[in-house]
Amino acid sequence: MVIDLRKCDGCGDCTTACQTEHELPKNFEWIKVFEVKDERGGSYFMPRPCFQCENAPCLRVCPVAATFRDDEGVVLVDQERCIGCRMCMAACPYGARYFNYVEPPAPKHPFHKPTPQFPVPQQKGTVGKCMFCVHRTDDGKLPACLEACGMEAIYIGDLVEDVATNGNETVRLSRFLKDNDAYRYKEDLGTGPRVYYIAGHGQHLDN
């Protein structure tokens, strides 16, 4: 995933779309938009999903292998295996995991059996997180957050195929990252985050 901070206006539509898609309570923000203050006294908005780390601390500490990686590299949670110990939450340096303290609301799809790819409804006593909407991308659709972003700030792509899209334009991923000096948040921790950011302060809004 690539998030272009030059485009993000902090509207929060990505968060709302994610909550709707996964039937989450309002305090569960699997993609959370932060307002960040910079050293010059300005600020910018930074959406933070799960970073689907290559060297994921959450995966290493899970004592029952409930956290695992699929064939595409997306980190998933098997709620049937999760024992709610929350070691993964403590290990995640990005605060991208949420514990389900209460029973979920009545599901909108009562005959759907939750799976790691589409864990709806969330199960009490387990941990949930963003999973790049693999249930949608496997069907050729875009993640809910990306589809809802009116500023077209979110891209989903494939490093192997070297392509990414925001739903409107398709780019050569490697060149897009290089030409825009993309960076990865807290990369120095050695987690290998798989979300790239393009620095900016919503400059397009001034155009």
d(CA 179, CA 48): 22
Quick one: which H or E segment has residue 176? helix 173-179
Residue 192, Cβ density class (10 Å: 0-12 exposed, 13-18 middle, ≥19 buried)? middle
**CATH fold for domain 2-206:** Alpha-Beta Plaits (3.30.70)
pLDDT at residue 171 in the model: 98
Most confident of 38-42, 54-58, 107-111: 54-58
Arithmetic mean of pLDDT, 1-26? 96
Render pLDDT for 57-66 as a digit per residue (tens, 0 to 9).
999 999 999 9
Enter the pTM of the model. Answer: 0.93
Render pLDDT for 91-109 as a digit per residue (tens, 0 to 9).
999 999 999 999 887 777 6
Confidence of residue 111 (pLDDT cuts 50, 70, 90): low
Arithmetic mean of pLDDT, 178-197? 98
Most confident of 36-45, 67-76, 198-207: 67-76
Spatial CA neighbour of 163 closest among 177, 145, 180: 177
Place of tokens 């780019």: 171
pLDDT at 202 over 80: no
Arithmetic mean of pLDDT, 42-48? 94
Spatial CA neighbour of 117 closest among 80, 77, 82, 86: 77
pLDDT at residue 22 in the model: 95
